Structure 1
């Protein structure tokens, strides 16, 4: 006796593009950057003006030196108030995070999502040949996921 399959007609398998989605496809290339010689007050004004939470610090050759964030600025506000010191002469170079995690622009964007979850960072700079070329944020990863809406995640 032959066994019949009651499985209906299967839709053609859709080839997923998720594996092809690279960080470089979604990273921001036009960045607000800061100089190590800028004042923390200038950075605070720029963060507010551009509605961003932080940004890379680069030298004249566009080499990544660090990251400065709202949190770094808030720490300086608190310390300045506590010690009753003016913030006018506080330089970015003294208050930025120098040990910066970066990621490869060729990394799969969903692998980058894992890196965000593991590290608790809000942004990762992308460096090529020693130069800052872009930055990817958690929001950029969300945009990539939305583009795959309705497709497989493989």
Structure 2
């Protein structure tokens, strides 16, 4: 006598496409506060305070990403201006932005983006397509994505 299985015949599962949006582009912010290299440090600081942000992308006239400016960059300038006794009025951010910025592909899986946040220790990543800034993903955006997926299988 053969061994009998208590499992019934298994149906062949159809290839179900998971429609759960897991791409960075589904969660990135596209309505960005951006800066230009010829803005004064004071105007940037005012924008950071007004919009309650800690930094943002710096773009040229063609909306191409050239760097980022942060509160830390501004604080460094405040410190240097005091040290050298040189007021900041009319000083632009051009020489104070962080260049060679890491970006994230909008098609990247949100979980891979979370890993990139952990390894790079960044608060935000710009998303660039065809050389143009199209959005930005922050750690908070990743948290929001996780909350929308709550109770589902995370793959």
TM norm. shorter chain > 0.5: yes
Q: In the alignment, which residue of structure 2 is the partner of 1:62?
A: 63
Q: In the alignment, which residue of structure 2 is the partner of 1:138?
A: 139
Deviations along 1:79-121, whole A, 9 cap, x unmatched?
Answer: 1111111111321111000110011000001100100000011
Distance in 1 of aligned mates of 2:118 and 2:19: 22
Q: In the alignment, which residue of structure 2 is the partner of 1:23?
A: 24
**CA-CA distance at 1:69 after TM superposition:** 0.5
Using the size of structure 2 for normalisation, the TM-score is: 0.87
Distance in 1 of aligned mates of 2:5 and 2:104: 52
Distance in 2 of aligned mates of 1:36 and 1:104: 24
Gaps in structure 1 of 5+ consecutive residues? 6-14
Residue 94 of structure 1 aligns to a residue in which SS? coil
Q: In the alignment, which residue of structure 1 is the partner of 2:151?
A: 150
Distance in 2 of aligned mates of 1:89 and 1:34: 15
Checking the alignment, whether the CA contact within 8 Å between 1:41 and 1:87 is kept in structure 2 is yes
Gaps in structure 2 of 5+ consecutive residues? 7-16
Checking the alignment, whether the CA contact within 8 Å between 1:16 and 1:152 is kept in structure 2 is no
Q: In the alignment, which residue of structure 2 is the partner of 1:116?
A: 117
Distance in 1 of aligned mates of 2:91 and 2:113: 34
Using the size of structure 1 for normalisation, the TM-score is: 0.87
Hey, which bits of structure 1, 4+ residues long, moved more than 4 A?
A: 1-5, 15-18
Residue 24 of structure 1 aligns to a residue in which SS? helix
Residue 93 of structure 1 aligns to a residue in which SS? coil
Q: In the alignment, which residue of structure 1 is the partner of 2:97?
A: 96
Q: Does 1:32 align with 2:33?
A: yes
Q: In the alignment, which residue of structure 2 is the partner of 1:105?
A: 106
Q: Give the superposed CA RMSD.
A: 1.9
Distance in 2 of aligned mates of 1:16 and 1:152: 10
